A and B are shown apart, each in its own frame.
Chain A
Amino acid sequence: MTTAVRPAARSWPVPLPDSIGIWPLLAALLLLFMLPAASIISNSVTEPENAGLSNFHAVLTDPTFAIFAINTVRTAVLVSIVCAALGYFYAYVMYRSSPGVRAILIFCALLPLCTSLLVRSFAWTVILRDTGIVNWILINTGVVSQPVGLLRTSFAVTVGMAQILLPFSIFPAYVSMARFDGTLLRASRSLGAGPVRSFLEVFFPATRVGLVAGTVLVFVLSLGYFITPVLLGGPGDQPIAVLIDAQVTSLLDWGAAGAMSAIVTFFVLLFLAIGWRAVSRIFFA
């Protein structure tokens, strides 16, 4: 009788995908995303000829770039906090619900992903504007007499982006909860801990990884947002993508645009690296 021996794993830093079906997708990503992205970033040192690091110097010393960078990070932090709180809570409700209710909750969480980003952002402008439904309700219930300026504020940007990004918070949190061993809670209760203490000292530490993974994803995705802040935000909420767009389309200064893109890409990769342990534990464990 022979025992099947698995060949020794090859020494790649990450295990290679063992399904052949993944390769067309990887090839498409390389051709349609990685190469164009590399080309855009390479503009930062080749435009104008022999630019060297002059574009980076110009961009990093430009106070306007700093303002837009601060706007971008501020929005990303706000959206991350909102998504972390709402997403974890939503996942907890899913975790405690019966399978039937849970299916409905999953459906509701996924539904926004099925409509276009542009449509969802535009829908928020209809809801939040002075003559929109929110102000209509507020005025007709006598809460306010004049419409409250909701649209073109940081509030609108945060609400609009949080709604779009919420699924990225909910599902990692839910994955960590689904993997949680429920007997631990019973053990903690039987040893005398109340429900709050059990939650804070047993359940939360065990599921924190899902919260962290989701928050990292939301934060990183927030850094690249364009259309939602443009439609919902005021002048003080405009992200770096707007500045890059102006360099590319109005000024035709592709060197500066490349340098800005390179800087944003660097920080996105940096934040992903920082949060990678949590993300990989949720998605690959």
Chain B
Amino acid sequence: MPLSSKIRLLATVLAVGTAAAPAIAEDTTLVWVDGGGAYHDTVQTRVLDPWQEETGNKVVSVAGTDNAKLRAMVEAGRVVWDVYNGDNSWGTDADGEWLVPIDYSVVPKEEIIPGFASTYRVANMIYSIQLAYNTDQVTTKPEGWADFFDLEKYPGKRAVMDYSVGGIFEIALLADGVKPDALYPLDIDRAIAKLDTIKPSLVFWQSGAQSEELVGSGEVAMVMTYNARAYDAKVALELPVDYIFEEQILAAAYLTVPKGSKNVDEAMNLIAFAVSKPINETMSADLPLGPSNVNASPNPEMAPDLPSSHLDKPYAVFDDQWIAANSKMIESRYQAWKSAQ
């Protein structure tokens, strides 16, 4: 091994060393990683605890998905994550270099909503990006993204996700009258022109918790955020917040297995368990997260808050393949637009 590779390896191992610690002790223990927050608790009580009870196998859950960390682990040959629960931008064929193909002899592909199971990933819940608003400032219910961009009818600031592929261009196009099924390929010029009309009133949020704080405190009148965050602000935190499902953008969280996982077979079993009807339908027990299994019946009390209960209204779906193929262009256009004075 040339010296430079050795140095790289050493450095990478050091970088991921802290994450590696739990797995060194017991190699047969599966490690599940997700984005954290209230979702992390739901996964623990609704998926991982029942799985441990049923199989007797151990699984540890870690909060904090990080695509860069996963890549570092795979390249260093020191993979300690077995099931990686990424967002919709993760796990398309573009990421195949770092993933193991899903074993569909174990995972029931035919039970998954069409389009939500592909070579390297299978969805375990459906969420959406929606418009939420502060009820003290916005007294007339908005009807879609056009109202988000209408500062005259709805004065006040707007908070958007600071993430180029998180939907900011999509909501601008929807507001500008593009039909939800004609969003892709994204017309970035048109989206930027629309965003420029409200740019001085935009606030960019970096974390879901921040989006709740911004709209809950009234610092912004409206926010584009995850539907589970809007629900959390209104129901759990009891803030003056409400939300609409018109023109929501559907997305899914996906289960993937990093290349180099030492427990690939067990990981596939856990994934099959997580998307099976009885487990998958409990994802909506505590949070408004829709099932990905066509046979699953979600929590009836949660039904009014589930994205999947509102498909009679206009909605869009992220085109993850197109986004993955164009992510560099989208990111660079986004950064150039955002930083321009």
Known interface pairs A64-B332, A235-B204, A251-B331. Does A36 touch B339 (Cβ–Cβ under 8 Å)? no
Q: A250 touches which one: B12, B164, B336, B338 (CB < 8 A)? A: B164
Chain B residue at smallest Cβ distance from A31: B14
Once the chains bind, are B327 and A250 in contact (CB under 8 Å)? yes
Chain A residue at minimum C-beta to C-beta distance from B214 = A129
Inter-chain contact A35/B339, CB cutoff 8 Å = no
Q: Which of B63-71, B239-247, B250-258, B272-280 contacts A (4 or more CB under 8 A)?
A: B63-71
A38 with B7: CB separation less than 8 A: yes
**Are A63 and B336 within 8 A (Cβ)?**
yes
| Interface assignment of B106: CB less than 8 Å from any CB of chain A | no
- Secondary structure of the A side of the interface? helix
Decide if A250 touches B341 in the complex (CB within 8 Å).
Answer: no
Query: Which one, B11, B14, B219, B335, contacts A243 given CB within 8 A?
Result: B335
Say whether A32 faces chain B, with CB atoms less than 8 Å apart: yes
In the complex, whether B45 has a CB less than 8 A from a CB of chain A is no
Please determine whether A39 and B11 come into contact, CB atoms closer than 8 angstroms.
Answer: yes
B1 at the interface (CB under 8 A from A): no
Interface Cβ pair total, 8 Å cutoff: 72
Closest B residue to A32 using CB positions: B14
Q: Which B-chain residue is minimally distant from A250 (CB atoms)? A: B331
Chain B residues, Cβ within 8 Å of A235: 199, 202, 204, 338-339
B43-71 vs A, CB cutoff 8 Å, 1 = contact: the mask equals 00000000000000000000000111001
Q: A63-B336, A246-B335 are in contact. Are A252 and B12 (CB under 8 A)?
A: no
How many A residues face the partner with a CB closer than 8 A?
A: 32
**Residues in A neighbouring B71, C-beta threshold 8 A:** 252, 254
Q: Which residues of A contact B217 (CB under 8 A)?
A: 131
Residue in chain B with minimal CB distance to A36: B11
From A31, A39, A62, A249, B68 is in contact (CB under 8 Å) with A249
Q: Does B206 contact A (CB under 8 A)?
A: yes
Q: Which residues of A contact B332 (CB under 8 A)?
A: 62, 64
User: Please, which residues of chain A bring their CB within 8 A of the CB of B163?
Assistant: 250
Contact with B along A110-130 (1 / 0, CB 8 A): 000000000000000000011
Q: A39-B7, A130-B219, A253-B328 are known contacts. Are A238 and B164 too (CB-CB below 8 A)?
A: no
Closest 8 CB pairs of A and B: A39-B11, A36-B11, A64-B336, A235-B338, A67-B339, A249-B68, A39-B8, A236-B341
Sample (23) of A-B pairs whose CB atoms are under 8 Å apart: A31-B14, A35-B11, A36-B11, A36-B14, A38-B7, A39-B11, A40-B11, A42-B8, A63-B336, A64-B335, A67-B336, A67-B340, A68-B335, A230-B206, A235-B202, A236-B340, A243-B335, A246-B331, A246-B335, A249-B68, A250-B164, A251-B327, A253-B328
With A38-B11, A235-B338, A236-B340 given, name 17 new contacts (CB 8 A): A31-B14, A35-B7, A40-B11, A42-B8, A64-B339, A67-B336, A152-B203, A235-B199, A238-B338, A238-B339, A246-B331, A248-B68, A249-B68, A250-B89, A250-B327, A252-B71, A253-B328
